[in-house]
Structure 1
Amino acid sequence: GLFDVNVKRRNICIFSSHQMPSLALALVRGRVTGKSKDKACCELRVHLQANSCAILESASYPGHTVAFNRQGKVADETTGHAGLSKEFVVHVKGVFHHGAIILLNTSFCQALSLRPDGSCSGSGQQQQESYWKVHKIGSGLCMFESVKKPRMYLKIKDDQCDGTGTGDEYCHFKIEKNLDTGSVSLESVRNKGIYVGLLPDGQTKPVVNTGERNIFFYPQVIKFGREKPMGTSAAPKQEKEDLIEPQFQPAKALEPEPRRPSTPSPSKEMRNPQGGECPLPSDDEWKVSVLTGNAGTEASVALWIYGDRGLTGPITLDKDNRKQLFFPRQEDEFQVKINNIGNIYKIRIELDGLPNEQPEWNLQRVILQHLKSKKTLNFPENTWLSKNRDDREFLCELPVVEAGKPIYPIVSYRVSVHTGDLEQADTASAVCLCIYGTRGDSGLRLLRKTGTPVTFQRGMVSVFEVEAVSLGELQKVLLRCEASAKSQRWYCDKVIVTEAENNSEYVFSCER
């Protein structure tokens, strides 16, 4: 289902199979098939329609188009012309990556633009005054900064929609995909249910969604941004990742890239102050206290901190003399910078590079204290972490505890991974998964079972448990399969995530 689109001339393109590059989509005697991409039958003319859809017509045989019936089967002479569909909705992945430059088109030749007086209009030209820079602040949450006038953001406030925002919460928008039209709508995060809308004269206005097309925008990428999965380290280039959205929620599936806070790059390793007179703490300085139980570790310890506006991490908890850290029954303190991520609700602790002679670490408690206000957040926990024992995890998530109760529960998600029933579909390689929801993500988890190496067999279902602070309503999953000498590929049919506490089931179709 993936094609590399090569423009031959003007609106004539060749759709080469991404999986089998020597073949391309072809129309032969009215039937859709695959042929060698150098043949004339592979040249398809792309006709853009007034409803922003596209029709693929044979360049050699005008009038012959790629068509499908309502059940998705290839049309042929046995199905006739009743119920055929020849219009394709165009979707571009990665439009809203952090740092991307985009147009929010309102028609073939017009786009959302920022005017000199700070107002916005949907009748601007598709030129630089209509360019917007994307600032990723969460999964499906973005800010839009004018490229021509930096530090001026699209905002909805006080019943006004304009480009005079300063980057605060009034500038935060939820990207709502309209899959049936290939468009997006921008819902205000601060004013839920209110969208960026257009009046008949093109002026922007906060409106409610009444089903009209005045809230539809058609994004066009001028410059692609960058992607970094929320709560995970940057992925090596040779690894393959797939983001999968749930089948049951197509109308509001959010942007399939992982979250990114609207802050500078994740905090680097922070060290304790070493002597000297300390200046007054800034608003983003915190103290992290980690209490070790009966078993210590010399391993590196990484920390992620989640707030309702983003996350900070990974932060390596380190000092100049690492060998003096995390001794049994010892409390270690670190000073870190946490940029504006809103109200903190959970953290994640992970071991990295655990020495073989120290099989496990007993973590008793973590405390975060804001150095300026002295506000304290407690994360009590008596857990064991290990990278060497199959019956223990090497990371854990902890919710903030207030008045003796966690503000969000720890949830056990049952993950069923369905390997396809195809030749060479199985793999013995390591497979990792990250679950995304309306309340953050689970972090990248290695799928494994107690005491047994996992092989994803052809046509089989592999079941795992993933524990995380409640993620709210699930939105998507990220899969990563690392190629090895034994396995170079893997075909995943789908992933089903079940939350037993509220009897919810989410189906994420992969089919690749």
Structure 2
Amino acid sequence: GSAGWYLDRIEIIDPETGLRYHFICQRWLAVDEDDKKISREIYASEHKNTTYRIKTITADVFGSGTDSKVYIIIFGENNDTGKIPLVKSTTHKNPFERGNADLFEIENIDVGQLKKIKIGHDDSDLLSDWLLERVEINIPKLGRTWIFPCDKWISKTKKNAQPEVELYPIDMSTGIKPSNILYEIKVYTSKISGAGTDANVYIQIYGLKKIN
């Protein structure tokens, strides 16, 4: 064997979120091949989807719940999700009732850092008026939670109310994560002749958070 190595790609799996990150290289790491470099910076391929943990908190006052169909649109630095129906709460069989904190886990397009949301309903039921206290959105991939206060009626019939509201975050907190995470790293060596290496290989991973 020899020290020269033709690296095809690296795949890193975050066990906390299940997200896979792909780093495409398809070049030599060798002193006698290509540009003669033995280390390279490789950037992650763009991800299309991410997980959103959306929590809606209905106010604890008489008549605050709704039986209408609720939806949310999440706006980020890169894009927006479009209308997402909030159907199956993981915390309550009948969501959006008085005092409920309903959690929805949604897989959708990755919009990056959150900027605002729109949330509303279709006014499809007699008991459609909804007094929403706030919305909290956690993105496990980023380890962050955005809090969107509302404290207003979402309604077609109540005075000074609308069936859809636009909300902005007032707080962004970093979720608690262990200081060390066990990543699963898969390295794919090219199948071309002589691509393997007998040298000691190392990798350094850079993320969004600063290292103190």
TM-score, length basis structure 1: 0.23
1:285 counterpart = 2:51: yes
In 2, the alpha carbon distance for the partners of 1:349 and 1:355 equals 17
CA contact (8 A) 1:354 1:387 kept: no
Structure showing the higher helix proportion among its residues: 1
In 2, the alpha carbon distance for the partners of 1:377 and 1:359 equals 26
- What does residue 103 of structure 1 align with? none
2:119 is aligned, of 334, 342, 349, to: 349
* Residue 376 of structure 1, CA deviation: 0.7
- What does residue 371 of structure 1 align with? 140
Matches within 5 A, 1:287-436: 287-293=53-59, 295-319=64-88, 324-356=94-126, 358-389=127-158, 391-402=160-171
In 1, the alpha carbon distance for the partners of 2:165 and 2:95 equals 19
Matches within 5 A, 1:198-347: 280=18, 284-293=50-59, 295-319=64-88, 324-347=94-117
In 2, the alpha carbon distance for the partners of 1:279 and 1:310 equals 21
* Residue 314 of structure 1, CA deviation: 0.2
CA contact (8 A) 1:292 1:365 kept: yes
Aligned to 1:338, the other structure's residue is in SS state strand
Aligned to 2:83, the other structure's residue is in SS state strand
CA contact (8 A) 2:68 2:128 kept: no
In 2, the alpha carbon distance for the partners of 1:383 and 1:368 equals 18
Name the amino acid aligned to 2:167: L
In 2, the alpha carbon distance for the partners of 1:363 and 1:352 equals 15
> How far does the alpha carbon of each residue in 1:341-391 deviate from its partner, in whole angstroms, 9 at most, with x for none?
2321000001113312x1511100100101234211111221111123354
1:397–1:310 Cα change, 3 Å = same
1:301–1:359 Cα change, 3 Å = closer
In 2, the alpha carbon distance for the partners of 1:388 and 1:364 equals 18
In 2, the alpha carbon distance for the partners of 1:309 and 1:373 equals 15
* Residue 336 of structure 1, CA deviation: 1.1
CA contact (8 A) 2:81 2:111 kept: yes
CA contact (8 A) 1:282 1:372 kept: no
Aligned to 1:312, the other structure's residue is in SS state coil
Name the amino acid aligned to 1:298: D
Larger radius of gyration: 1
In 1, the alpha carbon distance for the partners of 2:121 and 2:163 equals 6
CA contact (8 A) 1:351 1:387 kept: no
CA contact (8 A) 2:73 2:81 kept: yes
In 2, the alpha carbon distance for the partners of 1:385 and 1:392 equals 6
In 2, the alpha carbon distance for the partners of 1:341 and 1:279 equals 16
* Residue 403 of structure 1, CA deviation: 7.1
Unaligned runs of 5+ in 2: 1-15, 22-49, 174-212
Q: Which moved more, 1:387-396 or 1:310-319?
A: 387-396
Q: Which moved more, 1:380-389 or 1:313-322?
A: 313-322
> How far does the alpha carbon of each residue in 1:420-451 deviate from its partner, in whole angstroms, 9 at most, with x for none?
xxxxxxxxxxxxxxxxxxxxxxxxxxxxxxxx
Name the amino acid aligned to 2:68: A
**Aligned-residue CA RMSD (Å):** 2.9
> How far does the alpha carbon of each residue in 1:374-422 deviate from its partner, in whole angstroms, 9 at most, with x for none?
2111112211111233542111000121379xxxxxxxxxxxxxxxxxx
- The number of aligned residues is 126
Unaligned runs of 5+ in 1: 1-277, 405-512
* Residue 295 of structure 1, CA deviation: 0.8
In 1, the alpha carbon distance for the partners of 2:120 and 2:70 equals 6
* Residue 288 of structure 1, CA deviation: 0.3
Name the amino acid aligned to 2:140: L
TM-score, length basis structure 2: 0.52
Percent sequence identity is: 26
CA contact (8 A) 2:116 2:166 kept: yes
> How far does the alpha carbon of each residue in 1:284-318 deviate from its partner, in whole angstroms, 9 at most, with x for none?
11200000016101110110011122110200000
CA contact (8 A) 1:298 1:323 kept: no
